[in-house]
Structure 1
Amino acid sequence: MRWPDLPPPNTLLPFEATVRHASMTAAAQELHVTHGAVSRQIQNLERALGVPLFERGTRVLRPTAQARQLAAVVRDALEQIDATARQISRRAPTGPLTLSCEPTLLMRWLIPRLPDLTASVPDVTVHLSAGGGPVHFERDGIDLAVRRDDFPFPDEVNRTHLFAERIGPVCRPDLASRLVDGDGPAADAVLLHTATRPGAWDDWRRITGTTPDPTAGPPPQQTLEHFYLTLQAAAAGVGLAIAPYAVVRDDLARGQLAAPFGFVADGTGYHLLSRRPPEQDERDARVRGLSAWLRARTAGPETDPSAL
């Protein structure tokens, strides 16, 4: 054997899963084995290395620094093996795809279009997951993700541009004349903010060159935790909210919201992200079908305010 210090290979999968979950029970569930089987393999690995890998306490299992170091190397090796196996395999990938999408876009754009997805791509089963920010493909079992490029994408991530972000104030249609004054909100209009995008009103003013009347004093404001709560408040007549066009398109079409100033591009955009190389995704019929559907539904009139 050329690797005299290599630990028993059959101990590495249970070990990596245990470190990742900080739980032998969770590792056993992931690997579809018993808790005892995982425990034995961890003990075998510790005997082979001659060092303890976990600090064991009452209901607590903490990996040591050496364990975290080894687990990171094992994880990298497994990912390389998995990627190479996928590249050389002649088997067509099967099973469902897990698609992660930013919560408001998921709720207000993607979910209403699931019947069309099922009809258009009947051979693809999609599991949806709400999430924003950086994507942990391996850790969370995600195949594809839709994300706005308001944070840096890792170099190794494959990305496909879907549509540009366009933003604009929205409100209940029957209140538009009262909440609007010329090129901007009326002085007494309540400006609705969201904690997840606190600079939205500043961005819109900067892009449109709109400035509030300095003699009128600060406008009344209200902040809600999530984007969809802010939009719900606007639909209820609480005030004006800055909204991305994609997530309010259906509300505008139904007459539940109005956009008195239209929409402007804010310089960001949404992308479909994948951890796999482009040529590998291209060979996967499931990914091709879902990607084509997303590109078709997010192009042209779907996200073009001039189509309203």
Structure 2
Amino acid sequence: MSRPDLPPLNTLLPFEATVRHASMTQAAQELHVTHGAVSRQVQNLERALGTPLFERGPRSLRPTPQARRLAAAVRDALDLIEAAALEVSGRERGGPLALSCEPTLLMRWLIPRLPDLASRVPGLTLHLSAGGGQVAFARDTVDVALRRDDFPVPEGVSRVPLFEEWIGPVCRPELAETLTGRGFGGVTLLHTSTRPAAWDDWRRLTGPTATTATSASQQTFEHFYLALQAAVAGVGVAIGPYALVRDDLVRGQLAAPYGFVADGTGYGLLSPRPPERDARIAALLEWLRGQAASLVPPDGAGIG
């Protein structure tokens, strides 16, 4: 069957990768070809369509709206072809599922729950790595990522919300008992370099109260999990996201004397294709949703 309106098919992979990365260099690295080869194929596609697909600057390459629409269609078509090929061959996407997770969430929430994952989804194996911020799925060889939604999701990336972020001061129970009525006067406030505005965010959300009293000292840790571990050790009071301190609250190692408040952010599962197109990702998502149901404070409300 003749399809005269189809563009040259060999131009579509380099084009889609260039749109996704907004870079011919990165597209070439992903496809293991030269920059020149990608450039030629993109130019061939532009000639076939009779329209430019990129706004080219001295050091920038910006896809046009038409290019973004075409790239999205190419991605959908590639996903369908891949799924059909797997079905015809009788194979499933195999091997470990590479999951990137923000370090503190990985250490304090996800890893302790891996035995439950193994018992509920016995055929799923995860390859875990710690990471935060934007994800370059092809370059970083990552299949899925658990991320806080404090950055824009790249075009073409699927994001499924999992749970809201609730924050509040946490400390040892015996220290919490001394805070009632006098705020934080004489108490060490624990900070972290990775979330330097955590205390300010909490104060902004809760308003001026006795809890804003100046403390005797401040101590800053390089990573969030170090500040939380210091709170468990009784060093002082830290701002703790509920998801990261829930287990310590249940065990009685931490207390939250002022409760928790939603800070307007949340966590989601990012993937380069919709989860339903990969049975492994779909199984992981179903399990994560079950786990996320417990990540609402007793006096809080969940995502609508």
User: If the length of structure 1 is used for normalisation, what is the TM-score?
Assistant: 0.70
Instruction: Name the structure 1 match of 2:296.
Output: 304
Q: Is residue 290 of structure 1 aligned with residue 263 of structure 2?
A: no
Structure 2 matches for 1:64-213, cutoff 5 A? 83=79, 85-91=81-87, 92-178=92-178, 180-182=179-181, 185-211=183-209
* Secondary structure class of the residue paired with 1:237: coil
Structure 1 residues 283, 155: closer, same or farther in 2, change over 3 A?
A: closer
Structure with max Cα Rg: 1
* Secondary structure class of the residue paired with 2:266: strand
CA shift, 1:161, in A, is: 0.6
Instruction: Name the structure 1 match of 2:21.
Output: none
- Match of residue 234, structure 1, among 213, 231, 235: 231
Structure 1 residues 217, 160: closer, same or farther in 2, change over 3 A?
A: closer
Residue type at the aligned position of 2:160? T
Mapped to 2, the partners of 1:88 and 1:211 lie a distance apart of 60
Structure 1 residues 98, 188: closer, same or farther in 2, change over 3 A?
A: same
Mapped to 2, the partners of 1:97 and 1:286 lie a distance apart of 7
Structure 1 residues 174, 83: closer, same or farther in 2, change over 3 A?
A: same
Instruction: Name the structure 2 match of 1:247.
Output: 244
Q: What percentage of residue pairs aligned between the two structures are identical?
A: 59
Mapped to 2, the partners of 1:219 and 1:153 lie a distance apart of 41
- Match of residue 273, structure 1, among 260, 270, 275: 270
Report the RMSD for the aligned CA atoms in angstroms.
3.8
CA shift, 1:84, in A, is: 6.1
Please, which runs of 5 or more residues in structure 1 have no aligned partner? Answer: 1-5, 7-18, 21-26, 32-37, 46-68, 70-75
Instruction: Name the structure 2 match of 1:257.
Output: 254
Mapped to 1, the partners of 2:199 and 2:232 lie a distance apart of 18
CA shift, 1:217, in A, is: 5.3
Mapped to 1, the partners of 2:103 and 2:234 lie a distance apart of 23
Residue type at the aligned position of 1:206? R
Residue type at the aligned position of 1:162? L
CA shift, 1:150, in A, is: 1.1
Structure 1 residues 307, 89: closer, same or farther in 2, change over 3 A?
A: farther
Residue type at the aligned position of 1:127? H
CA shift, 1:234, in A, is: 0.7
Residue type at the aligned position of 2:282? R
Matched pairs, number = 253
Please, which runs of 5 or more residues in structure 2 have no aligned partner? Answer: 1-9, 11-24, 38-60, 62-70
User: If the length of structure 2 is used for normalisation, what is the TM-score?
Assistant: 0.71
Structure 1 residues 236, 95: closer, same or farther in 2, change over 3 A?
A: same
Residue type at the aligned position of 1:168? G
* Secondary structure class of the residue paired with 1:210: coil
* Secondary structure class of the residue paired with 2:235: coil
Instruction: Name the structure 2 match of 1:53.
Output: none
CA shift, 1:112, in A, is: 0.2
Instruction: Name the structure 1 match of 2:65.
Output: none
